[in-house]
Amino acid sequence: MNYELNKRIEWLDAMRGFTMLLVVAYHVAQFGFAENEKTSAALPFMVLFRMPLFFFVSGFLAYKANFLWNIKNTIPLVLKKLHVQIVPAVIFLCIFIVFKSKYGFWEGMLNALKSPTKDGYWFTWVLLQMFLIYYVICIVGQRLFPQPLSCREEENKPAITGRFRCVFWLTVWILSIVAYETLYLPKLFSYHKDMFFSYSSLVQTIRFMQFFLLGNIVHRYWKQVQRIFDSIWFFPLVATLAVVCCADIFRWHTLKFAWTNLPRTTAMYALLLMVVMFFRFNKKWFTTEHALGRALQYTGKRTLDVYLLHFLLIPSVPFVGTWLNTHHPNFLIDLFASVGIAIPIVAACLLISHILHTSPALGKFLFGK
């Protein structure tokens, strides 16, 4: 067992803060600049790994090494998640509809509920579904492969049990990828077009569950994963895959429609792993001893607050998107414009969050903390 993971990992908090900044920048371009993935130079690239990275971190942190998974122990976790993931999102969705929606309240609420993205507030609801699915899988896994009660038992357990447990989790992860791929095979699968999947946002859960599970598996087998990360061949391989797959997505378009999701999925994994490896390798930059590390870590510890608040602060400046699109879209200009506005929005969200947390009761009610 790696005892480093029992305490807060600074570079992981910083990476989560970085991911939150990308989320806000994406929404600035999408809602503030009125850009879309067909016209923007930066949006198609950012969408490949920003949310996968977020769910990866959530899955990573969901792993509890010494937790006894049974119904009795899991019920308190479920009740806590129900509050944290639902109550704040519903409150801020209502505020968003009142102040930002072009519809009346009830019409705006109905439109939001019909959409799988819930006017942007889908993340917490989908993450709740992932936690519930994960808890069920953990309980099943506990029944099939009981965890040892101590480190000594862990050392003395038959190696075959550990291998079966590893196969179990890899199988679950592979099944989540298979479920995701069904979304992109319309001739074979059309179940996700049913309104139930839009109202429930299960489409989003199916799309991103694989990254939650990947993060969880990486944490479970962190010692082995670190050896892979540190190998001389892994990063060059991942970087090459990222370049080739992004080239096919944005320029080559060599694969037929039924297979176009293959390079896209590979690019998502490759870019995600590159970001994780970068933050881990340069973890000294992201400690509290450096200003950048302190800023990203603070943001990373307040991601829910920023996520819930930032939709209310995004300015509507569609002329910026029009200018970017009519002047030969450039990736760097597009990215810097989005991030340049996202940074003060994140800072404002953190300030508002800090003010609201002046009341512990209000902070707990609004943000689950």
Q: Is the pLDDT of residue 147 over 70?
A: no
* Alpha-carbon dihedral sign for residues 206, 208, 214, 216: negative
List, in order, residues 6 or more apart from 269 with CB less than 8 Å away.
Answer: 52, 214
249 by DSSP, 3-state: which? helix
Write the pLDDT tens digit of every residue in 77-99: 999 999 888 988 999 999 999 98
Residue 33 DSSP one-character state: S
Give the count of beta carbons closer than 10 Å to the beta carbon of residue 90.
14
List, in order, residues 6 or more apart from 135 with CB less than 8 Å away.
Answer: 69, 74, 77, 78
User: Side chain identity at 106, as an amino acid letter?
Assistant: W
| Angstrom distance (rounded) from CA 174 to CA 210 | 8
The pLDDT-based confidence of 153 (bands split at 50, 70, 90) is: very low
| Angstrom distance (rounded) from CA 179 to CA 58 | 20
| Angstrom distance (rounded) from CA 263 to CA 34 | 27
Q: Is the pLDDT of residue 118 over 70?
A: yes
Write the pLDDT tens digit of every residue in 206-242: 999 999 999 999 999 999 999 999 999 999 999 999 9
Query: What pLDDT sits at residue 160?
Result: 64
| Angstrom distance (rounded) from CA 208 to CA 176 | 9
| Angstrom distance (rounded) from CA 215 to CA 16 | 13
Measure CA 253 to chain center.
27
Output 256 or 130, whichever has higher pLDDT. 130
Q: Which two tokens stand for residue 148?
A: 């040892």
Measure CA 128 to chain center.
12
| Percentage of residues in the chain having pLDDT higher than 90 | 50
**What are the start-end ranges of the H helices in 182-315?**
195-200, 202-220, 222-230, 234-247, 261-281, 291-300, 303-310
| Angstrom distance (rounded) from CA 111 to CA 167 | 42
Classify residue 4 as exposed, middle or buried by CB count within 10 Å of its CB (0-12, 13-18, 19+): exposed
Closest of 142, 172, 10, 167 to residue 65, by C-alpha: 142
The residue length of the chain stands at: 369
Give 3-state DSSP helix, strand, coil % of the chain, rounded to 5. 80, 0, 20
Measure CA 217 to chain center.
15
Least confident of 18-22, 327-331, 343-347: 327-331
Q: Is the pLDDT of residue 21 over 60?
A: yes
Q: Is the pLDDT of residue 347 over 70?
A: yes
List, in order, residues 6 or more apart from 160 with CB less than 8 Å away.
Answer: none
Write the pLDDT tens digit of every residue in 296-330: 999 999 999 999 999 999 999 998 888 888 777 78
Q: Are 158 and 164 in contact (CB under 8 A)?
A: no
Write the pLDDT tens digit of every residue in 159-203: 566 788 889 999 999 999 999 988 888 778 888 888 888 889 999
Write the pLDDT tens digit of every residue in 104-113: 888 888 888 8
What integer is the mean pLDDT of 249-277?
80
